A and B are shown apart, each in its own frame.
Chain A
Amino acid sequence: MKTKKKFIVCVSAIILTLSINSFAGSMDMFNNEKGAIRIAGGTAHIPVMKEAAARIMTQNPDIHISIAGGGSGAGIKQAGEGLVDIGNSGRKATKKEITRFNLKMFKWAVDGVGIVVNPANRVRTLSQVQVAAIFRGDITNWQKVGGYNKRINLYTRDNASGTRAVFWKKALKKGKIAANANFVVSNGAMKAAVSQDPYAIGYVSVGHIDSSIAAVAFNGIQPVLANVQSGRYPIARGLYSNTKGRPTGLVKKFIDYLFTEEGQKIVTQKGFVPVKYF
């Protein structure tokens, strides 16, 4: 009995030191590093990028990391043209883009795209057919899908958005989007617009869903982390970081960091599905 207890204490001590080591390890690689990393592109990535950057920069004041949006298209283009070191995209780069820019893709998380409405709206579930009809402009009143007798205001993203690309393909089945849909420029702007407009419907990265907007179940499946993880929730995509050619130096370390235990923990914390388990 006693030996067993001792054994457990021993093992847990070993695990503890190991885990501390691995934690220190993920930051260790930035020791004595200097310089700047420029990141731009996909707006779904921003919460993770910001958190990772904040942690690295507090530990290593000589490293400066700048993060900008612009959308997946901009991320791929700017990385390909050498304007930024890392270009994020919420979709795979096309074959054309990969060969032209010699892109290297790193998929560090899986993300769902959730359909969202204003919290004042009582609609909490929609079928694929209803969603497609709403965005096509065939259903224009919330009453038809179980809501109040109010018109529907559509919000969508521009063509450079990876969030739009996956939503269009998997939720709308490549159907048309009505011409009177309002366009917003980022996941953050979508959240702001839907939280302001009581009759709005839009779509955001699952990581961006909070109490200011209400998630709508798609074909009865809630857009939550667990469902994205299990693959039950169908509107999902990878989150990629792209570099021109193989990354080196600080940029490589930053990308490596995203795949460490700590990096993947940030991914989970921000509401995305990690790609590695520890």
Chain B
Amino acid sequence: MKHEKIIAKLFFLSAFLSCLITFSIIGFLLIPGLPLFWEGHLFAILTTPWAPDDNQFGIYPMVAGSIAISLLTIMFAFPLSLGCAALISLEDKNKSGIFVRKIVEMMTGVPTVIYGFVGIFLLVPLMRDFFNAGSGMCILTAALMLTLLVSPTMILLFCDSFAQVPKSYGDAIMAMGGTQTQKFLYITLPNSKSGIITGITLALGRVMGDTLIVLMIAGNAVQVPGSPLDSVRALTSHIALVFAADYSSPEFKAIFACGIFLYIFSSILAVITNFTRNR
């Protein structure tokens, strides 16, 4: 009994500590960032361009860049992941499914810098020659590489949620003469909705938060993208690039706004994930 109490307290302590760290991070971001709120600059920062030489420190191009990259990545990764997950979970003993699963599991462990490297030396020249516009460092290239990064996580999450659908449901539809496709479309898919939403939100969070791939292959140009072939800078890359600036400069203060935006965004995603899981 005594042991249990000690252990309970230990667990409480660790939970408390992790909460504390989370809150102190938001505090750390808000305190230097607060002047931006007071002076009503936050909205201006989110909607104006970045031109340090002209005293403009808006992060709108970066916000637009991050959103463009994330949405395009999910557009690629979602159908791909859904298809892979379907192949893996379709039948009980299909060899190709097992093979794909093994590869996918292996891919979850590849460090992002490897993807960045492969991207810059293989994909970027390919995109440059194929589209014959721009330098090949663009939203599309980054999104393709990020698709490789997030798909494994999405696939495994989808597989897990497919596996949670009771087998008897599927058996029932098969007994009525349904096909594998019908079973997947009308039984498996509707019953794993929350798992799918969780997968998408987690992937979105990961794409938004990724720094290295976008820094290496998105081109980092400060402009609001007009096409998927434009070079853009993501919020995370912006922080990495401006970080070297003087601490007291307005450039440096502006990257706190980037931090706050990223934090708010990931918090919203976390809430959505929690919400769908609890249902």
Contact A97 B246 (CB under 8 A): yes
Residues of B within 8 A of A192 (CB): 120
Answer yes or no: B79 CB below 8 A from chain A CBs.
no
Q: What are the interface flags for B201-215 relative to A under an 8 Å C-beta threshold, 1 for contact and 0 otherwise?
A: 000000000000001
Contact B219 A182 (CB under 8 A): yes
Q: Contacting A183 at CB < 8 Å: which of B121, B233, B243, B247? A: B233
Interface size on A, residues (CB 8 A): 26
Contact B221 A160 (CB under 8 A): no
Q: What are the interface flags for A257-269 relative to B under an 8 Å C-beta threshold, 1 for contact and 0 otherwise?
A: 0000000000000
Query: Considering only CB atoms, which chain B residue lies closest to A158 in the complex?
Result: B241
Contact A180 B221 (CB under 8 A): yes
Residues of B within 8 A of A193 (CB): 135
- A196-B124, A196-B125, A197-B135 known; A181 vs B245 contact (CB < 8 Å): no
Q: What are the interface flags for A133-165 relative to B under an 8 Å C-beta threshold, 1 for contact and 0 otherwise?
A: 000000000000000000101010011100000
Contact A182 B244 (CB under 8 A): no
**Closest CB of chain B to A158's CB: distance in Å?**
4
Answer yes or no: A71 CB below 8 A from chain B CBs.
yes
Contact A153 B244 (CB under 8 A): no
Instruction: Please report which residues of chain A, range 58-94, place their CB below 8 angstroms from some CB of chain B when the two chains form the complex.
Output: 70-71, 73-74, 77
Complex Cα gap A160–B245 (Å): 6
Interface size on B, residues (CB 8 A): 30
**Closest CB of chain B to A79's CB: distance in Å?**
12
Q: Contacting B231 at CB < 8 Å: which of A74, A182, A199? A: A182
Contact B137 A159 (CB under 8 A): no
Residues of A within 8 A of B27 (CB): none
Residues of B within 8 A of A180 (CB): 134, 221, 223, 230-231
- A153-B134, A182-B231 known; A197 vs B128 contact (CB < 8 Å): yes
Answer yes or no: A179 CB below 8 A from chain B CBs.
yes
Residues of B within 8 A of A182 (CB): 135, 137, 219-221, 231
Residues of B within 8 A of A184 (CB): 220
**Closest CB of chain A to B53's CB: distance in Å?**
8
Query: Considering only CB atoms, which chain B residue lies closest to A182 in the complex?
Result: B219
Answer yes or no: A185 CB below 8 A from chain B CBs.
yes
Q: Contacting B221 at CB < 8 Å: which of A71, A159, A183? A: A183
Q: What are the interface flags for B114-128 relative to A under an 8 Å C-beta threshold, 1 for contact and 0 otherwise?
A: 000000110011001
Answer yes or no: A200 CB below 8 A from chain B CBs.
yes
Answer yes or no: B199 CB below 8 A from chain A CBs.
no
Residues of B within 8 A of A74 (CB): 243-244
Contact B251 A159 (CB under 8 A): yes
Q: Contacting A158 at CB < 8 Å: which of B124, B125, B242, B246? A: B242
- A180-B223, A200-B135 known; A185 vs B241 contact (CB < 8 Å): yes
Complex Cα gap A77–B135 (Å): 32
Q: Contacting B242 at CB < 8 Å: which of A159, A199, A200? A: A159
Contact B223 A179 (CB under 8 A): yes
Query: Considering only CB atoms, which chain B residue lies closest to A70 in the complex?
Result: B244
Contact A183 B244 (CB under 8 A): no
Contact B136 A158 (CB under 8 A): no
Complex Cα gap A151–B231 (Å): 15
Complex Cα gap A61–B195 (Å): 56
Query: Considering only CB atoms, which chain B residue lies closest to A179 in the complex?
Result: B223
Max chain A Cβ within 10 angstroms of own Cβ: one of B215, B220, B222, B223: B220
Answer yes or no: B52 CB below 8 A from chain A CBs.
yes
4 A-B pairs with least C-beta separation: A160-B244, A183-B220, A74-B244, A153-B135
Interface CB pairs A-B, < 8 A, 23: A70-B244, A71-B244, A73-B245, A74-B244, A77-B246, A77-B247, A153-B134, A155-B135, A159-B245, A160-B241, A179-B221, A179-B223, A180-B134, A180-B230, A180-B231, A182-B135, A183-B241, A193-B135, A196-B124, A196-B125, A197-B125, A197-B128, A197-B136
Residues of B bordering A, CB below 8 Å: 52-53, 61, 120-121, 124-125, 128, 133-137, 215, 219-223, 230-231, 233, 241-247, 251
Residues of A bordering B, CB below 8 Å: 70-71, 73-74, 77, 97, 151, 153, 155, 158-160, 176, 179-185, 192-193, 196-197, 199-200
A159-B245, A160-B242 known; 17 other A-B pairs, CB under 8 Å? A73-B245, A73-B246, A74-B244, A97-B246, A151-B133, A153-B134, A155-B135, A160-B241, A176-B53, A179-B221, A182-B220, A183-B219, A183-B241, A184-B220, A196-B121, A196-B124, A199-B135
